[in-house]
Amino acid sequence: MRLLPALAIGLMIVAAAACGDDGETAPPAGGGGAGGSSAATGGAGGGGGSTAFDWGLPPGYPKPRVPEDNPITNEKVELGRYLFYDKGLSGNGTQSCATCHQQSLAFTDGLPVGVGSTGQHHVRGAMSIANTGYLNAFTWANPVLASLEEQALVPMFGENPVELGLAGQEDTLLARLKTEPAYVDRFPAAFPEDTDPYTVENVVRAIASFQRSIISYRSAWDAYNYGGQQSLSESAVRGKDLFFGERLECFHCHGGFNFSDSVSHEGTTFEEIMFHNTGLYNVGGTGDYPPDNTGIFEFTGFPTDMGRFRAPTLRNIALTAPYMHDGSIATLSEVLDHYAAGGRTITSGPYAGVGSDNPYKSELIAGFTLTVQERADVLAFLETLTDYELLTDERWSDPWH
């Protein structure tokens, strides 16, 4: 593992889909607990006269970092919630953001890869959007998207792959939003300083604000780790010790409160953006990955970046199958098999190869052995990361129903 090469950071933004696909550049944006409140309202991005947002987080849990040009308010979050679930944000009226990010599945969709509004199958699966407000890298393998606001443009207007399919329909979209009764009061309330609040820029600001508000913090693990409750079984406690131990090495890429790296929050003083090759493929024994799914190599062209993807959060991991960037591993038990072997072996077909021999694989993917009981213990621990309240919390539910 290493920090992203400076050259990659300097590249122009290439679109990365909400489900994690990388594609063409999107058009520029146009014309319960005792938690603290958000950053001050007002200023760029609207918010003057709006009400400050209460994250509702327990003591000790960090708050997401909020861009200065898009301060979070209750009104923006509420507007973003409506937009997130609005199928009118797709070119043919068949999909919304929530199509690929379903609350009941921890804001994923249960499919190996995403399927856009035109039926096009993508090459990567939909990542959970819970806790995306803490990320400083977005999608599976785009090192240059800098914010949720930028990222939201991609599923709306990207053409390779097509997701919501709004390219070239900006004026039609805004005209529809202006005539939708649900938005007549909500857009002006969210952006009271704007003469005309109906802009693409404000659409993505509201959606990003809603996404930042979706925080998973009420799992059995949280009750144990932050609340001092005996909420873990003996098996899960043993699994915790294995997970955070040097023998399995899991915590190096899936550590911290979010069980991932590439994380930032209000208290962050040092930014890291990390991507990893886990030996999932070794096509032809040369270290290659499938040609349409090469990770950040697509951006940098560096051979050592072949197959490097961002480590997703393990929060709610029991609900977000299938696994890996391309949905090619069906169960958590099989994921353990992959890491225990130090990489996956594919014995036949176009992608045959021994992943454990991949020359670009992370040095942390070295393999390990587990007894039957230890395997059960690790899986029991991963189950404790499920936040069942997240799945039904009305703050993040569909307001159209």
Average pLDDT by stretches of 10, the chain with 401 residues:
35 39 38 34 52 90 96 98 98 98 98 98 98 96 94 96 97 98 98 98 98 98 92 97 97 96 92 95 98 97 98 98 98 98 98 98 97 98 98 98 89
Helical segments of 14-169, H only: 74-84, 97-100, 148-157
pLDDT digits (tens, 9 = 90+) for 324-369: 999 999 999 999 999 999 999 999 999 999 999 999 999 999 999 9
Residue 85, SS3 per DSSP: coil
Three-state DSSP state, 177:
helix
pLDDT at 49: 61
Whole-angstrom distance, CA of residue 97 vs CA of residue 83: 8
**CA separation for the pair 283, 288 (Å, rounded):** 5
pTM exceeds 0.85: yes
For residue 209, give the amino acid letter: S
In whole angstroms, give the CA distance from residue 305 to residue 290: 14
User: How far is the C-alpha of 312 from the C-alpha of 138, rounded, in Å?
Assistant: 10
CA distance 48 to 27: 28
Domain 6-216: CATH class, spelled out: mainly alpha
Give the CA distances from residue 234 to residues 230, 278, 294, in Å, rounded to whole numbers and listed in that order: 10, 30, 40
Mean pLDDT of the chain: 90
Question: Using alpha carbons only, what angle is made at residue 273 by residues 55 and 314, rounded to the nearest 5 degrees?
Answer: 55
Helix (H, G, I), strand (E, B) or coil at 329: strand
- pLDDT at position 45: 57
Enter the DSSP assignment of 376. Answer: H
Alpha carbon 45 to chain centroid, angstroms? 23
Report the pLDDT value the prediction gives residue 46, as an integer from 0 to 100.
54
Residue boundaries of the structural domains of the chain? 6-216
- Alpha carbon 124 to its chain's center: 12
- Structure confidence at residue 7 (pLDDT): 30
239 in Cβ contact with 382 (< 8 Å): yes
